[in-house]
Structure 1
Amino acid sequence: MRAAWQYLPLALSLVLFSVFSHFFYNQIGDDAFIYFRYVDRALAGHWGSWTSQIPAVEGYSSVLWTTWLILLAKAGIGVEVAARASGLLFALLALLSTYQLGRLLKASIWQSGVACLLFSMVAGLHYWSTAGLETSLYLLIFIQAVISMIRLRHHVLWLALIGLARPEGPILLLALLIAMKCVYRQRFPWWQVGVIVTPLLVWMAIRWQLYHALLPNTFYAKATGDPLQQIIKGLIYGFVCWIPLLGAWLLWFKSRRQDIMIALGAVSLLLGIVVGGGGDWMIYARLLVPVVPVLLAVSVALWSQSPTRNACIVVSFLPMFLLVVFPRFWWPAFTGEQLDPTSKIEGTMTERSIDLANKIDAVFGQSTRLIAVNHAGALPYALADHNVIDMVGLNDAHIARAKGHMHRKYDVDYVLEQAPDLVILNSRTLPGSQGVAYHTGYWAGETALVEHPDFYRYYQWVPAFDTRWQWQMGPPYGWFYEAAPESWIQVFVRKDLLTDPNTHLKALDDRDD
């Protein structure tokens, strides 16, 4: 009976995983639809291409996740269902892997279960598991890679997958290989290094053939800019993890255990890459989720009867409590409710974007040659038969290499030179209020576009397309991120298209609020 009680924290972690997974299940990220568009185009014979008009780019963050979704789609599983179900499965396996890592680090059954229990309270684990992105897959691969590096078994498989799982994967892989060679020396032969890097080298050759680039387009779009500013932003973004990491390293110096050193070294390398890349703008610490379970497993392994050591662990790990599920969500979650749509990362924008896409398709049909967008997810996905310019540059090689920082890159002249038929903008102020058609301030690239002297010369706002969406993030994220209870999507149409007899503008209502 005593042995059964030792599994109580693990059992509770599975209960919390089920409850919170259900609570967050009804949301999906707008960026997930970038994957879905690539998958649909691959099934149509256009592998690796987001749109036909602009040269192909690698606008997805994980070739491994993209390939996985394509395989499931070919098996007849809907891409959104496949993404959600796979993400949930990988998240569950990652939770159990946290327990496995704790036991490997010689923590007791109870202590390893506590690590799982704490990880099951992390909002990002649940939020991102069904968001349609590669987060859960990357999380599982990283934990298993740490386990395999400590045991020196199956490391070839898991390390090889790291190189394909994320844009920073090749850098992390190289760093881990160097670290393993220093630690294991002759026990880690060069032929294993060659086997591990072979899948990455093959993919880089394919990437060059498809995209004429050695790095993914998302790297150029997000991880280039002023290095000092990026590091400062990264340090702010990752402080909830690097402070506990420093505390864990200080405690390690008393034990000098090799297994804990390997785990902490792997986490340090991953967190260093996240900090150096400037972190992320998305809520719920998407890039920190893989760091948390390894830190928790190490913390329970370092736990002892020493009051001083216990106090150090507790104090250093306090910042990680900012990652737990908001207390105001606990009661709704346990009563069977689900996340309010306005509290999702993009609020109701995804659903309303699909509604707008259907309206655009009904009005213009195939008469539109090219559409320019800022949010390149759900709207372009729903406009599957239309060519699209991604004005932020995630899916455009030219804009991705422009000057600026993450999501601050744009090239107005480049967009206007391509003469898109529709330009879809966003505003946080009611369109047309105060006698102004478009109120600037939503995104610098849209502001610069509207202020270009040729914009209103060639484009006209069509109020009938105005689409309202809501977003309201509560504390603590609401303290750091600007909340916009109401935002609008606006459509600007080329003036010569307004007189095209193939369009059905007269069928639109005067206003759609």
Structure 2
Amino acid sequence: MVAAVIASWVAVALVVIIAWPRLVAERSARMIALVLISGLSLVHQLMFDMLAEDAFITFRYAENVAEGHGPVFNIGEPVEGYTNFLLLGLLSVLKAGFGADVVLSARVLGVLSTIGCVVAAYFLARKLSGRSAAGVLAAALTATVSNLAAYGASGLETSLFALLVLGMLLAACYEHWVIGGLLLAMAVLTRPDGVVVGAVLLGWLIVRVLRQRANWWQVTAFVLASLVVLMPWTAWRALYYGHFLPNPLVAKQGGEFSWQLGQGWEYLGGYLLAVPALLLLALAGMVLVVLRRAVDTETLRAQYWLVVTLCVVFAGFVVLVGGDWMPAWRLLAPLGPVLAAGAASGLILLSKVDTPAPANRVAPALVIVACAFSLVASIWQNGMLSAVREWRAQVDQLGEIGSWLGEELPRGTVISTYANGALSYRAGNGLPVVDQLGLTDEYLAREVEPEQTGGRGSLAFDFEYIVDTRRPSVVIPTQSGYDTRKNCSIATEFRGDYIPKAFRVADSDDWVTVYLRGTEASQLTGQLAASDKFTPARCP
């Protein structure tokens, strides 16, 4: 796939550079270029082929909804262990109404949303600059944004959220405030971060009112359109789950602010080092548009300031929350298309688009070079591609462990795991799962003081509660798939109540260690040994 990505970039580069005069002058040429760029986006996503561990938590919820058990992780336990209600709802409808596979549906939706970001960036750049050719440049930059492509097929809501952010910006630029308010509500239903984007848009609109460039009816329309969706949704959540904040947000609160801020700055710094060319082009665009007042009207300058403000505020928000533990800077993915639109809007001013002579190719040449830098970052810089592929291998292995447990253990057997995604989903809803991180457990998330845990942030732990209250029959200690050697040790927290048991994975040198509750160990060993793929070994 690396070769396919490079070939696609070469094709886009040749079209954009050689056919630039036609792209400036002809709409049909721009549409052909947009299709070609969308193809580049597709192969860029397929190169990563990510399937995120945390996405499987949503998949398990969706399966339970589709089967009539309601939005729960464990049947009969109403716990809000997700933050992406819109994605959950879409997957549930596709599964219940059409029998669609939940995992495949989520991945296809993510890929299409990423391509949608390419198209939305095209229209946003065209609107910001007032010149259609800028859209082609923005689309090309968006198609090569590393972290957006990495999470396209991940099954997470990342690309869908980025698309909704772009939709809100377009609604603001075209002054469709009812649509903007509805898109804001959809964004908040997709990720809590949508509140930050909505606050920026609302603040910008109020400033426009104070400067007599807008009116209070537009503010009212924007706010009411969002509240008409958000208020009943919030009321339902409070009644069904008994809380206003979902478990994943509550469970991660409580770390020292200075430590969290340091993590956030490190996270942002890594992202900026991965997108230097895009960032420089965006800064150049800001200089050309804002400081030199190069665009034609005050309205266009104000819209550009909206884009700049959103990027700064959203990046600051990610720093404040301490970033994220997943590879490839997931939380900052929405910024890529916005930066691309801003960069293209400014750079188009370097080209004399009204007289499309072949020599006027400075802007497209800079964009193609920036695209090359982005693809180099995707493939080689900071081990991004290798980190994603390693994570995907771990997720696949955790899923195999989950399938093994689901097939061999009797329905109702309680298990506990640290990696509560692919393993739990593949185990099936017949096995209640105790999440050692508290993301899908009410008590751990809301009653236990979180601890700082390095790359995963602040999370809640109470192993005494797990052992004595939830009493799982099987504990799976791994968070990264198979072991490369036999391991008969046991964590201190489970010693005394559980015994370790090592299983060898068939046709490999890989191993899995599980902790079996002492009073059930013999029976559980026999049940798990029934599998052809996992063979028990003697532990001292």
The answer to whether the superposition gives a TM-score over 0.5 is: yes
Give the aligned partner of residue 124 of structure 2: 101
**Residue of structure 2 in register with 1:346 after alignment:** 391
Partner of 1:386: 431
Q: 1:237 aligns with which of 267, 290, 309?
A: 267
Report the equivalent of 1:61.
83
Distance 2:479 2:402 in 1: 17
- Distance in 2, matches of 1:97 and 1:285, equals 21
In the alignment, the residues of structure 1 paired with residue 390 and residue 167 of structure 2 have an alpha-carbon distance, to the nearest angstrom, of 29
User: Which of 37, 42, 45 matches 1:21?
Assistant: 45
How far apart, in 2, do the equivalents of 1:165 and 1:3 lie? 40
Distance 1:281 1:9 in 2: 36
Q: State the partner residue of 1:336.
A: none
Query: Any stretches of 5+ residues in structure 1 without a counterpart?
Result: 330-338, 439-449, 470-485
Distance 1:35 1:511, change over 3 A: same
Is contact 2:501-2:537 (8 Å) kept? no
Aligned to 2:105: 82
Matches within 5 A, 1:251-290: 252-255=290-293, 257-290=301-334
Structure 2 counterparts to residues 167-316 of structure 1, below 5 A: 167-184=192-209, 185-186=214-215, 188-239=218-269, 240-241=271-272, 244=279, 252-255=290-293, 257-303=301-347, 304-305=349-350
Distance 1:264 1:45, change over 3 A: same
* Counterpart contact for 1:88–1:129, Cα < 8 Å: yes
**Using the alignment, how far apart are the partners of 2:109 and 2:183 within structure 1?**
18
Alignment of structure 1 residues 95-494 onto 2, 5 Å: 95-106=118-129, 108-153=131-176, 154-184=179-209, 185-186=214-215, 188-239=218-269, 240-241=271-272, 244=279, 252-255=290-293, 257-303=301-347, 304-305=349-350, 321=373, 325-327=377-379, 343-344=388-389, 346-366=391-411, 368=413, 370-384=414-428, 385-401=430-446, 402-405=449-452, 406=457, 408-417=459-468, 418-426=470-478, 430=484, 432=486, 437-438=489-490, 450-452=491-493, 455-464=494-503, 489-494=512-517
| Residue type of the alignment partner of 1:423 | V
Are the equivalent residues in 2 in contact too, given 1:164–1:170 (CA < 8 A)? no
- Find the aligned partners of 1:106 and 1:166 in 2 and give their Cα distance: 29
Supply the AA of the counterpart residue of 2:498. Answer: Y
Q: Matched residues in 2 for 1:501 and 1:17: separation?
A: 48
Instruction: Give the superposition deviation at 1:267.
Output: 2.4
Q: Which runs of 5+ in 2 are unaligned?
A: 1-18, 25-29, 352-361
Deviation at 1:173, TM superposition (A): 2.3
Matches of 1:148 and 1:460, distance apart in 2: 59
Report the 3-state secondary structure (helix = DSSP H, G, I; strand = E; otherwise coil) of the residue aligned with 1:457: coil
Aligned AA (1:411): D
Distance 1:501 1:151, change over 3 A: closer
- CA change 1:176–1:215 in 2 (3 A) is farther
Equivalent in 41, 58, 73 of residue 95 of structure 2 = 73
* Worse overlay, 222-231 or 73-82: 222-231
When residues 389 and 191 of structure 1 are mapped into structure 2, their CA distance, relative to the original with a 3 A threshold, is same
Indicate conservation of the 8 Å contact 1:119/1:293, yes or no. yes
Superposed CA deviations along residues 425-483 of structure 1, whole A, max 9, x for unmatched, are 127865546xx624xxxxxxxxxxx223xx221101111267999xxxxxxxxxxxxxx
TM-score of the aligned structures, taking structure 2 as reference length? 0.76
Partners of 2:378 and 2:254 in 1: CA distance: 33
Kindly indicate whether the alpha-carbon contact (under 8 Å) linking 1:84 and 1:129 is maintained by their aligned counterparts in 2.
Answer: yes
Q: Distance in 2 between matches of 1:260 and 1:432?
A: 58
CA contact (8 A) 2:407 2:427 kept: no
Distance 1:190 1:110 in 2: 35
Tell me how far 1:271 sits from its aligned partner.
2.1
Q: State the secondary structure of the residue aligned to 1:105.
A: helix
Cα separation, 1, equivalents of 2:257 and 2:524: 52
| Paired amino acid for 1:510 | P
* CA–CA distance in structure 2, aligned partners of residues 237 and 62 of structure 1: 22
Could you state the TM-score of these two structures normalised by the residue count of structure 1? 0.80
- Offset at residue 135 of structure 1 (A): 1.0
**What is the deviation of 1:320?**
11
**Cα shift at 1:223:** 5.0
Report if aligned partners of 1:29, 1:132 keep a CA contact under 8 Å in 2.
yes
Which residue identity does 2:112 align to in structure 1? L
* Deviation for aligned residue 1:506: 5.3
> Paired residue for 1:4, among 15, 22, 30?
22
The answer to whether the 8 Å contact 1:466/1:490 transfers is no
Deviations, residues 466-511 of structure 1 (Å, cap 9, x unaligned): 7999xxxxxxxxxxxxxxxx98642111011124489535546235
Q: Report the Cα offset of residue 183 of structure 1.
A: 2.1
Query: Does structure 2 retain, via aligned residues, the 8 Å contact 1:13–1:120?
Result: yes
The total of aligned residue pairs comes to 462
Q: Which residue of structure 1 aligns with residue 354 of structure 2?
A: none
Matched residue SS, 1:491: strand
Could you say what secondary structure the match of 1:89 adopts? Answer: helix
Amino acid at match of 1:218: P
**2:67 paired with 1:44:** yes
Per-residue deviation, residues 5-50 of structure 1 (Å, max 9, x unmatched):
443764542231232233234x311111111100111122222210
Q: Give yes or no for contact 1:123–1:324 (8 Å, CA) kept in 2.
A: no
Letter in 1 for 2:62: V
Give me the identity figure in percent: 25
2-side partners of 1:208 and 1:34: how far apart? 21
Counterpart in 2 of 1:446? none
Offset, 1:408: 4.0
Question: Residue 515 of structure 2: SS of its match in structure 1?
Answer: strand
Q: Is contact 1:354-1:382 (8 Å) kept? A: yes
**Mapped contact 1:283–1:345 kept (Cα < 8 A):** no
- Please give the alpha-carbon distance, in whole angstroms, between the structure 1 residues aligned to 2:503 and 2:283: 55
Cα distance, 1:299 vs. partner? 1.5
Report the RMSD for the aligned CA atoms in angstroms.
3.4
In 2 relative to 1, CA 296–358 (structure 1 residues): closer, same or farther, beyond 3 Å? closer
Quick check: 2:261–2:319 contact (8 Å CA) kept in 1?
A: yes
Is the 1:167–1:218 Cα contact (8 Å) retained in structure 2?
no
Name which of structure 1's ranges 62-71 and 392-401 shifts more when overlaid on structure 2. Answer: 392-401
**Whole-angstrom distance in 2 between the partners of 1:459 and 1:380:** 20
Distance 1:270 1:488, change over 3 A: farther
Deviation at 1:140, TM superposition (A): 0.7
Residue 30 (1) aligns with residue 53 (2): yes
Shift in alpha-carbon separation, 1:15–1:408, aligned structure 2, 3 A: same
